[in-house]
Amino acid sequence: MNKHTAPRVISFIDVMGQRQILGRKTDTAVSRVLQHCQFINGPEVTQLEADLAAFTGAKHVVACASGTDALLMVLLAKGIGPGDAVICPSFTFCATGEVVALLGATPVFADVDSETFNIDVASLKSAIEVARRAGLQPKAVIPVDLFGQPADHDAIADIARAENLFVLDDAAQSFGATCRGKKLGTFRLATATSFFPAKPLGCYGDGGAIFTDDAEFAAILRSVRVHGQGSDKYDNVRLGLTARLDTIQAAILIEKLKIFPEEIIARDRVAKRYNEMLADVCIVPRVATGSTSVWAQYTIRVSKGTRDALATQLKAEGIPTTVYYPKPLHHQTAYKTFPTAEGGLPVSETLSHEVISLPMHAYLDEMTQDRIVEGVRAALSR
Ligand SMILES: Cc1ncc(COP(=O)(O)O)c(C=O)c1O
């Protein structure tokens, strides 16, 4: 390379590359919707819900407008409100705690495990106690399957059963992952996911879905999705939202779901290769035994203080990185007054100083990946 030429900038997530693989399929699917004009609740929405149910093994799927709405709809349908506590991890995207607080309930933050970055079960138990001592009624836990990897659903289910909590799984980053041979979407009361474009299965705008095996609950969710409508359209029987998935987004997702299984395999191949080539210079991600990840992010840990220099050096070489998350929720302005598990949340705090995510997508070729790895290794050995 001429030393005066800027290096080619690598994509962090290659939505454009995937468009080329899909060819005209998504364009044709969108054109079909433009022809039949059923932009709301068109046939593609019903088709997508059936396809998602077949893919996950969940009995009922309710498509909706975003991952945030998916979480909110479940809490609304369960009547969560003031005086209720919902336990969630602090090391997550804000939406996990936001939906709880929006309903006037109290998010109680728990710490995460240092290897999987998912909710720590001892801290979950402590958060339940903290909620009780504060005079709140613990009603639910929202585990998050962070960066594509399932939380410890068996251990969480045991605690939820013993404490009479319902489990709403936040699988916004992990649609397609498995835990002990079962796809996410089939655990406990309900699972919420997001189809935001950057997610492992993303649409071309906002979108989401809820998975449940409970037919009655699915019917309530369908009502909540449209202003709490009852069997008579003009007698609304509960409070709800406008949270439908657009037909155009459903049409796109139907096509993208067809290539998703191969994409999951490709993402895993990329992650394994990163692990092999980087394990001696940083802490590489580890997937718990019995689980598979869809690698929404490939996130390494570097020692506190070296992260900024690494990001700057890589950026100069055309290699983008992102920090998910530089501040755990319990340190963010909107959330710092909410309670946390006993003893603080040291792992969430340490991770927020050490994690950095590298480019990850199904179409990352080996040559590009080698360039990223060389950049990381060179920067960390300086
Ligand atoms: C863990 C988690 N929960 C919820 C959401 C919300 O999803 P959406 O952006 O589709 O509302 C996200 C999106 O980034 C997320 O990462």
Cα gap 75→168, rounded to integer Å: 8
15 has a pLDDT exceeding 60: yes
Ligand 1 center from residue 123 Cα (angstroms): 23
> What pLDDT does 2 receive?
52
Average pLDDT over residues 220-228: 97
pLDDT level of residue 3 (50, 70, 90 thresholds): low
Q: Give the CA distances from residue 218 to residues 210, 225, 307, in Å, rounded to whole numbers and listed in that order.
A: 9, 10, 44
Q: 298, 320 in Cβ contact below 8 A?
A: no
In the predicted structure, residue 143 carries a pLDDT above the cut 90: yes
Protein residue whose Cα sits closest to atom 10 of ligand 1: 67
5 has pLDDT over 90: no
* Mean of pLDDT over the chain: 96
For 233-262, write each residue's pLDDT tens digit. Answer: 789 999 999 999 999 999 999 999 999 999
State how far the alpha carbon of 271 is from the alpha carbons of 52, 291, 322, 369, in Å.
25, 14, 16, 10
Instruction: Indicate if ligand 1 lies below 6 Å from the C-beta of 143.
Output: no
Q: Is the pLDDT of residue 267 over 70?
A: yes
Q: Is 340 in the pocket of ligand 1 (CB under 6 A)?
A: no
pLDDT over 60 (residue 354)? yes
| pLDDT of 271 higher than 70 | yes
pLDDT bin (cut points 50, 70, 90) of residue 1 is very low
> How sure is the predictor about 382, in pLDDT bands with cuts at 50, 70 and 90?
confident
Given a cut of 50, whether residue 347 has pLDDT beyond it is yes
- Is 297 near ligand 1, meaning CB less than 6 Å away? no
What pLDDT, on a 0 to 100 scale, did the predictor assign at position 233?
79
Give me the pLDDT at residue 103, please: 98
Check pocket membership of 144 for ligand 1, CB cut-off 6 A. Answer: yes
CA 315 to chain centre: 26
What does the pLDDT look like over 39-84, one tens digit per residue? 999 999 999 999 999 999 999 999 999 999 999 999 999 999 999 9
Q: Which atom of ligand 1 is nearest to the CA of 198?
A: 14
**pLDDT at residue 157 is higher than 50:** yes
Q: Work out the average pLDDT over 8-13.
A: 94
Average pLDDT over residues 129-145: 98
Strands of 52-165, DSSP E: 60-64, 84-89, 106-110, 137-141
C-alpha 4 chain-centroid distance = 40
Give the mean pLDDT of 94-113. 98
Is the pTM above the cut of 0.95?
yes
Instruction: Work out the percent of the chain whose per-residue pLDDT is above 90.
Output: 95
Of ligand 1's listed atoms, the one at least distance from the Cα of 173 is 16
